[in-house]
Amino acid sequence: MLQTVLIIAGFLALWGAFALWLAQRHGISMHQALLYAPLKLAFRIDDSSLRAAQAPGPVIYAISHQSRLDPALMLSVLPSDTLHILDEPSSRAMWLEPWRELARTIAFKAQHVFVNRRLTRRLKANGRLAVYFPFDAEPDVKSFRLYRAVAKIAVSADAKVVPVYIRGSSHLPGAYEPAAKTPRQLLPKLRIMALPARTIGQLVEDAGPVGVTTSNALFDRVAEARFFSQGRPKTIFHAVRSAALLYGPGRVIAENVAGEKLTYRALFAKARMLSGKFVEIGTSGDIVGLLLPNAARSMAAFLALQSAGRVVAMMGTGVGPLDLVRDGTIRFVVTSRAHVEKARLAGEIEVIAAAGGRVIYVEDLEASLTATERMASWFTWRARRLPRQADDAAVVLFKQTPDGQRGVVLSHANLIANAAQIEARLVLSRSDTILSVLPLHTALGLTVGLILPLMKGVRALAYPSPLHIRQIPQIAATRQPTILFATDALLSAYGKAAQTSDFESLRLIVSGGERLRASTRQLWSDRFGKTIMEGYGLTEASPVVAVNSITHGRAGTVGRLLPGMRMRLDPIEGFEQGGRLQISGPNIAIRYLGADEPIAGDGWFDTGDVVSVDREGYMTVLGRSGRLAAVGGTTVPLALVEEAAEAIWPESVHAAVALKTAGSDDRIVLVTTEADADRAVLARQWKRLGFDSAALPAAVIPIRSMPTSPNGRIDHARLIGICEAELGLNSAA
């Protein structure tokens, strides 16, 4: 009996000592600390950011309400004088009684003006409020009313806002998200992310040159807490491995249309096998070319190179300058014999070999594996081969410039950050399947076709070429994907080739890489009843910068800036609205290949694009970098020329280019698939519709079909060559 009493007394003493330490550390009452202690231990809670919660009043804690445990946790750690405003079910929950004694709680409805006034008075008296927002990256209209109501209260009381997000709470047994979408864990590790206190006015000012509405400023700040809750950056290998452990090693995460399926464990086992061979090639940090199609096995090869500590240069047909092979920057190129044969790359392989590069075939590496190596890989699938750091280079992507291809070096942290930013803006779950059609050597294809699905447990259905216009709608009809990322040209082609039921399973369609034409948007709306979400990005941003979502979308814009990013606009001559876009954020590339200085040396990256921003934060791209013409002292966006041509000939595809002339002005040429296109007709309609006369093309060239790049975008470089040949010129811009 005495021994039992001593054990109980010892346990209580330890509990009390631990609670006392928590009370002193977080500035909470002993009563709070005693109830918080078991939660802290059971869920290994990382609460290092809670100092932000100690801001002096008036303050509003904006909490993302993900599970039934969240109110108990917040009642334990927030100052005891905080008034907790719960949803009605939580305010009536009996099991919360022990925690409800810690602070006052009430139920709140956004439409109750009387309650709003009472809360405002409480805040003005240096009070504190904790408001529990519905957990949703894309809140519906009803849920967003709460953001408006709370923002109004915060402005009236000049209160500071502290957003709080509990990473891991959505995986608790009591989480609100359905288990079919988010995996459950009995005792997941939790991380409380509380951002520094800011007033709504400061958030509006931080948002950019135009600012945003108070409700959107609050919404964006809450989304930032979700983004930053991912914690310290990891390498791509570690991030995907963490996802494998969370979603289950046996989960099918990648598959081909041919029927091959890879679970997380199988994916890592294949990567482990190949990485053992890759470490024998070159040294850690070497740039190795990867020339493989969009397929499940290509993902394994990519992870294998990451495990082996190599920097992966993503190559494709005509992508990956041979000069880099000749000067020794890229000494090894990994490919497969099957891909070389199917894609008819024998000529390119011969050129690479002649330039001094060593071509390594995946089939040869797999054939050289012993039975022992194969078996061991299944037991050691979690282990990496060589260590790398989050800020180390991970990938080289090539972008087309007027002077040729330019390599962009992205770090592990860049790519992981962009995937997390997308996840904080769009609703993604393990019940989704991404139809991955964009080539992996493109920035968008790599991020949304490989990094994002592997990190977030979203199944990736890989298709080898986006240019199989008739086959892809059939694949969508039979395999039932829910998400599709593509370019305008591809979406237009798919929409025209598909049956009306082919894309019925899609719930999210995102267009990027080029301007989404109104005709493409209308085509998908009329034929399939689907709304395309347009986004904006560039390779240097890993690549997504802004995107519309289902509940936060505005036609004609590219959406709102992703969480964790900032922007500013520099004035540019010829544009009354908007300016030259400068951006900063954790997703900005570290440098260009061959350059020593960082891309954003002063913290800002100059995109070269001209954009305008409305008061709700929606961005409209007025002119893309390299797609501006100078005519009569006026800067003309070539996109404006294309939009005007589309209004005149809506059933055709149009592209404008600017050719250099002997004078100071550029010569605008319109290339169109309109067979009967005539400049005289264009000029008459141009004047009748009131378009800017400076933007009227100097020449119109009809062609049968628009040339496209491997990812389906209009190939403007080839168009310039066509125009030069047609007009007898030899230089262009």
Give the whole-angstrom CA distance, residue 655 versus residue 488.
13
Same structural domain for residues 644 and 607? no
Co-location of 599 and 670 in the same domain:
no
Q: What is the pLDDT of residue 316?
A: 87
Assigned domain for 4 exists: yes
Q: Please give the Cα distance from 215 to 323 (Å, whole number).
A: 51
The pLDDT of residue 186? 92
Pair 124, 251 in one domain: no
Helix (H) or strand (E) holding 622: strand 619-623
Whether residues 70 and 207 fall in one domain = yes
Rounded distance between C-alpha atoms, residue 97 and residue 610, angstroms: 56
Could you list the residue range(s) of the whole structural domain that residue 720 is in? 626-727
Is 505 inside a domain boundary? no
Domain boundary among 211, 228, 245: 228
**Residue 399: inside a domain, yes or no?**
yes
Residue 284 forms part of a structural domain: yes
Mark out the alpha helices in 649-715 (DSSP H runs).
679-689
Cα separation, 117 vs 114, in Å, equals 5
β-pairing, 508-511 with 532-537? parallel
HSE, CB side, 13 Å, CA atoms: give it for residue 218. Answer: 28
The DSSP result for 465-525, as a single string, is -TT-TTHHHHHHHHH--SEEEE-HHHHHHHHHHS-TTTTTT-SEEEE-SSPPPHHHHHHHH
- The reply to whether 54 and 73 lie within a common domain is yes
Q: How many domains does the chain have?
A: 5
Question: Hunting for tokens 């939580």 — which residue is that?
Answer: 90
Predicted confidence at residue 733, as pLDDT, reads 42
* Ranges under pLDDT 50 in the chain: 731-733
CATH number, position 571: 2.30.38.10
Whether 579 and 596 map to the same domain: the answer is: yes
**Residue 298 located in a structural domain:** yes
CATH of the domain at 259: 3.40.50.12780
Same domain flag for 220 and 247: no
Same domain, yes or no: 590 and 609: yes
Q: Which of these, 623, 537, 538, lies nearest to 547 by C-alpha position?
A: 537
Whether residue 85 contacts residue 123, with contact meaning beta carbons closer than 8 Å, is answered with no
Domain containing residue 672: CATH number: 3.30.300.30
Tell how far CA 638 is from the center of its chain. 27
In a domain, 127, yes or no: yes
Tell me the C-alpha distance between 728 and 10, whole Å. Answer: 93
Q: What SS3 class is residue 684?
A: helix
Among 411, 431, 464, identify where a domain stops.
411
How far is it, in rounded angstroms, from Cα 570 to Cα 609? 10
- Do 130 and 1 reside in the same domain of the chain? no
565 and 646 in one domain?
A: no
d(CA 108, CA 86): 6
Answer yes or no: do 223 and 352 share one domain. Answer: no
Q: On the CB side of 113, how many CA atoms lie within 13 Å of its CA?
A: 0
3-state secondary structure 29-75: CHHHHHHHHHHHHHCCCECHHHHHHHCCCCEEEEEEECECCHHHHHH
In a domain? residue 328: yes
Q: What pLDDT, on the 0 to 100 scale, is given for residue 227?
A: 93
pLDDT reported for residue 134: 85
Residue 532 placed within a domain: no
Compute the radius of gyration of the chain from its Cα atoms. 28
Residue 614 identity (one-letter amino acid): D
User: Are 565 and 665 in the same domain?
Assistant: no
Choose the final residue of a domain: 360, 390, 411: 411
